[in-house]
Amino acid sequence: QKEVEQNSGPLSVPEGAIASLNCTYSDRGSQSFFWYRQYSGKSPELIMFIYSNGDKEDGRFTAQLNKASQYVSLLIRDSQPSDSATYLCAVRTTYNQGGKLIFGQGTELSVKP
Amino acid sequence: DVKVTQSSRYLVKRTGEKVFLECVQDMDHENMFWYRQDPGLGLRLIYFSYDVKMKEKGDIPEGYSVSREKKERFSLILESASTNQTSMYLCASNSGEGVDTQYFGPGTRLTVL
């Protein structure tokens, strides 16, 4: 089992819809969870992080964390074509100290006009 | 804003050449990381450093070495470049405190002919 798993996609949604991206992790003691967006040919950029159970909202983005079920999700409301990118989930686990993160493979999102 | 810079955006080298990739961060971060990213394989950690002159192997250190003589600078060295080292190389840094978000540089697209 991979430490951090994401559906590779591509996930295709129409413009204006809600895009839902999911990520599961294996280390129950994981502490911090991050969502990065990566446009083709560019480097990952942080969208948001979450470390407490529940929802965290930032504009059109909502991160949801459920530690009991070991999953974290990212919702994008009112999806725009400019949201088309690969979304990387990253986790700081209990055994990866020194600031290391474990990254998922990424989910490719395509928002169709 | 955190700024992580990499010495080149694109680099073309020949097999057997010694290659230096430089990364500089301006936020006094303790930790620095080198990843490579390949289609279908995601982000893979090559080496990381948690202090000046300190380094630890990541998941795929073979064929690479690193140097961190100053806190702000972390160099990745390919002692004898090979075609299978053609990839996107990404540098990142974080503070080692709190939530520990990793911030990425723009990446270097290395082609080894």
Q: What angle do CA A55, A92, A38 make, to 5 degrees?
A: 75
B85 in reach of chain A (CB within 8 A): no
pLDDT digits over B61-92, tens only? Answer: 999 999 999 999 999 999 999 999 999 999 99
Nearest residue, CB atoms, A32 vs list B96, B99, B109:
B99
So what's the pLDDT on residue A1?
A: 62
pLDDT (tens place) for every residue of chain B, 113 residues total: 669 999 999 999 999 999 999 999 999 999 999 999 998 888 999 999 998 989 999 999 999 999 999 999 999 999 999 999 999 999 999 987 777 789 999 999 999 99
pLDDT digits over A48-86, tens only? Answer: 999 999 999 999 999 999 999 999 999 999 999 999 999
CA A106, CA A76: separation in Å to the nearest integer? 15
The alpha-carbon gap from A41 to the nearest alpha carbon of chain B, in Å, equals: 9
Nearest residue, CB atoms, A44 vs list B95, B100, B104:
B104
Q: Is a pLDDT exceeding 80 seen at residue A2?
A: no
What is the residue whose two structure tokens read 């998941």? B59
B44, closest residue in chain A (CA to CA) = A103
Count CB atoms within 10 A of the CB of residue A17: 14
A40, closest residue in chain B (CA to CA) = B39
Does residue B14 contact residue B112 with C-beta atoms inside 8 Å? yes
